[in-house]
Amino acid sequence: MAETWEDKVAPVRRQREASLAKVQPPLGKLPETLPLNSRNLPKELLTDREIELTEKCTVKQLLARLRSRSVSVEEVTRAFLRRAAVAQAAVNCLTEVLWDQAIERAKYLDSLPEPKGELFGLPISTKEHHGMKGSDITSNASYVAWIGSKHRSIQLYDILWDAGCVFFARTAQPQTIMHLETNSNIYGRTLNPYNRDLTPGGSSGGESALIGMRGSIMGVGGDIGGSIRCPAAHCGIYGFKPTCKRIPSGGQRTHMIGKEAILSTLGPMAADRDALELFVQTVMAAEPWLLDPSLTFKPWVPHKFDRPLRVAVQWWDGVVQPHPPMTRALKEVSAACRAAGMEIVDWDCEQLDHKKAWDIIASLYWPDAGDEVLGRLKSVGEPVLLLTKFIIEEQPSVKKLSMHELWERTAEREAYRDFYARAWTNTAAQDGKEVDVILCPPSFGAATPHDQSKYWGYTAQWNLLDYPGVVFPVTTVDPVKDPRDESYVPKNEQDKFCFEMYSPERYKNAPVSLQIVGRRNHDEKVLAALREIEAALGRS
């Protein structure tokens, strides 16, 4: 009998189970019915010491302890391995744990006479389709057709490795790596740590769920339409999508290699803010452009503001009205910024045609109308998931482009980028003080119920423009503060779809995050603005 796609998947799942079975000591018994909110599970299953190591310090604090050798790399690694196993049991975020490899690496680092590297001893989680260190590492990128394919380590991971990190867990991505959720035929559906009925976001939702559980405190995601920022926002963690070509992003196991009209970038996802800049500084210090000449040759120089920030607030994108808790977050943060002496202005998207931006980027995601990707699914009879259909087949602008049509679309993209740059530059017309950053939603609301993530506008806009964006947690949904606006009349079909999705009870206690966006290649400024804005919120 011919092998079915399920036959191919079975050994991958067994391999995952086998990797988890190595975790020592084994986890205690989980509750029969898992709670809606998984965030307290680790306390029930881990030791106080493990809890202390995995959630009581920031990345920099942990690194300081590791460097001073007041804690061993092995002890820290074991704690995160066990906590990752809890996260997997709770929200299904992993493709495997690297028990043997991680402990071997930890022992090696402990054996060094002196700690070495900016990330000495830090456990880092990685997305499955990024090939990594290890002779037997395979990457399938959630394609059944690619199950079992060996894949080389990517340049970024070589750099992190050389900086002394420990790779210990690999995380799931959705089918085609092009959902804002995380669900695949191989690994199943990943859930939100705060609420099992909601998505952790995607495509780096394995990472966000794992870090949301503090089964990791630093990981790596990729973003071409929101895949770092959306999951970071939905899980209440930090995520940074740099401008493309700052961070080495080549070498992943992925599709449509050679397509360049819209590029993805790798970037950090972390439990705390300062870890983001540590990550990019560590990577840039390795001069990655020496081996990947497509990268921008530009060392990272932290930005310092010489005047109070001018922050533009995007209250909505002109297409879909954000849900009430998102609007409340914008109000709270902009009020705090104003109180801290910043200037707050409006970012008026109605003149900026974000709808058009979506039409352009959707078309350029799939200039072959998805033929390559859909062909790969079909080749092994892998079922096409609902959100795959949505992003390929249900977008009016997606069609098979001729060469000349590709050029036309690319020229439209360039014209739109020029248009937007002019609008930004014009903010300095009155007094020479340009808007520094845009404060905006990373999504129309908190994490959506499963299979409902059908509006990408709040993140993909900045991919089309190739603007850097960072996401940070602000608040959680509060039914008292965030009632549904019953008087609201949706302005279009997408607005109606998102509006009807909202009810405060459904989202209760879900994280609400905001996004800070800067001009292309102003990555340093975006992270500096995050520091300033968090300071205005009273965060150190």
Active site residues: 127, 203, 227
The answer to whether residue 427 forms part of the interface with a second copy (CB under 8 A) is no
Q: In the set 30, 257, 285, 335, which binds a second copy (CB under 8 A)?
A: 257
How many Å apart are CA 487 and CA 470, to the nearest integer? 32
Is the Cβ of residue 249 or residue 443 nearer to a second copy in the bound state? 249
CB of 412 to a second copy, least distance (A): 8
The answer to whether residue 465 forms part of the interface with a second copy (CB under 8 A) is yes
Backbone angles phi, psi at 202, to 5 degrees: -165, 175
Distances from the Cα of 500 to the Cαs of 17, 163, 447, 486, in angstroms? 39, 48, 14, 10
# binding residues, a second copy (CB under 8 A): 44
- For the chain, the first-to-last Cα distance in angstroms comes to 62
The answer to whether residue 367 forms part of the interface with a second copy (CB under 8 A) is yes
How many residues can be counted in the chain?
540
The Cα diameter of the chain in Å comes to 75
CB of 290 to a second copy, least distance (A): 5
Is the Cβ of residue 4 or residue 426 nearer to a second copy in the bound state? 426
Q: In the set 16, 129, 323, 522, which binds a second copy (CB under 8 A)?
A: 522
CB of 393 to a second copy, least distance (A): 17
Angle between helices 48-55 and 73-91 (to 10 degrees): 90
Is the Cβ of residue 272 or residue 523 nearer to a second copy in the bound state? 523
CB of 407 to a second copy, least distance (A): 3
488: β partners: none
Choose one: 80-88, 258-266, 314-322, 486-494; the region binding a second copy (CB under 8 A).
Answer: 258-266
CB of 45 to a second copy, least distance (A): 45
Choose one: 173-181, 230-238, 363-371, 485-493; the region binding a second copy (CB under 8 A).
Answer: 363-371
The answer to whether residue 354 forms part of the interface with a second copy (CB under 8 A) is no
CB of 404 to a second copy, least distance (A): 6
| Closest to 461 measured CA to CA, from 161, 226, 110 | 226
Is the Cβ of residue 2 or residue 290 nearer to a second copy in the bound state? 290
User: What is the 3-state composition of the chain as percent helix, strand, coil, each rounded to the nearest 5?
Assistant: 40, 15, 45
Distances from the Cα of 436 to the Cαs of 425, 427, 524, 529, in angstroms? 10, 10, 12, 8
CB of 154 to a second copy, least distance (A): 12
Is the Cβ of residue 434 or residue 478 nearer to a second copy in the bound state? 434
Cis bond leading into 503, ω under 30°? no
Residues between 286 and 345 that touch a second copy (CB under 8 A):
289-294, 296-298
Token pair of 317 as six digits: 């994108």
Residues between 20 and 79 that touch a second copy (CB under 8 A):
none
How many Å apart are CA 290 and CA 163, to the nearest integer? 17
Residues between 381 and 410 that touch a second copy (CB under 8 A):
400-401, 403-404, 406-410
Choose one: 115-123, 195-203, 252-260, 347-355; the region binding a second copy (CB under 8 A).
Answer: 252-260
Asked whether the beta carbons of 176 and 144 are under 8 A apart, the reply is no
Counting DSSP H helices and E strands in the chain, the numbers are 19, 13
| Closest to 469 measured CA to CA, from 276, 193, 335, 249 | 276
If one counts every other C-beta atom within 10 angstroms of the C-beta of residue 487, the result is 5
Which residues in this chain contact a second copy in the complex, by CB under 8 A? 250, 256-261, 289-294, 296-298, 367-368, 371-372, 400-401, 403-404, 406-412, 414, 417-418, 420-422, 425, 465-466, 519-522
